[in-house]
Amino acid sequence: MIKLCAPFTAFFNIISPRRCLICFNFLAHTLVTIPPAGGLGDFLCAACQEQLKVCETTPALSSSVQIDQVFSGYQYGGALAKIIPAWKYHSRGEFSPLIKALVLLTLSRLSLSRLDFDLILAIPLTNSALKKRGFNQALFIAYCCAAELQLTLGMHELVKDINTEQQASLSRDERASNLGDDTFRLLNQNVVKGRRILLCDDVLTTGATLKAAAATLNEAGAVSVSALTLARVEL
């Protein structure tokens, strides 16, 4: 139950109004409320939170022998289909704390702390894409995972030199052929040799990007490669 102190609520809403990041409705101020369970009440109103649908099943990438397990937090749609593109492509940094909260909720719900990983990596961007976007959204997610799970984060070991078309702009068949065997490479193969890797990205659609990266890691001697994405497109 949310407990309010009316005079202080009015005061803080005047000097520092807080709004839902999606619909912009006012939110009660955290200094005068007990936030609801889940940690999302600081960012989203109740109606927008209801649009977040968790993934109840593990996606099957049947054509891949490169990835051991794939974990996804939420279905890509509703509020999340507005949040991720705005954060990723339009420099909406105010979404970063919300993304972190969603990642931590995903880790807790899936009990990933109980699984045996020893290295976390992110799907990389090319230098030109990184310069244009300003940050790598997959690396942010990987950083949140590494901090929460207290695991080593490989910042720059996996690189992407070839500028490919954005997967989001392609059809399902085009996604599969957009990434070749030489799309990703490792600066130092010894970093992943003998390691159990959790590979992070923002959205899973066909899995083509994860498969291509996992193939590079396996060829370098990784013991296992699993993947975590914040969201998954339901095909």
Convert the pLDDT of each residue in 191-218 to its tens digit.
999 999 999 999 999 899 999 999 999 9
User: In angstroms, rounded to a whole number, what is the distance separating the alpha carbons of residues 135 and 125?
Assistant: 9
At 164 the pLDDT is: 63
At 60 the pLDDT is: 64
For the chain, residues with pLDDT lower than 50 are 1-6, 8-10, 12, 32-37, 167, 170, 174
Output the CA torsion sign for 211, 186, 103, 77.
negative
At 34 the pLDDT is: 47
User: In angstroms, rounded to a whole number, what is the distance separating the alpha carbons of residues 158 and 189?
Assistant: 9
pTM value is 0.83
Query: By three-state DSSP, how is residue 148 classified?
Result: helix
Please name each of the domains of the chain with its CATH number: 1-50 (no CATH), 52-232 (3.40.50.2020)
At 39 the pLDDT is: 78
Convert the pLDDT of each residue in 132-173 to its tens digit.
999 999 999 999 999 999 999 999 899 998 876 554 554 555
CB 199 within 8 A of CB 123: yes
Count helices and strands (H / E) in the chain: 8, 8
At 26 the pLDDT is: 82
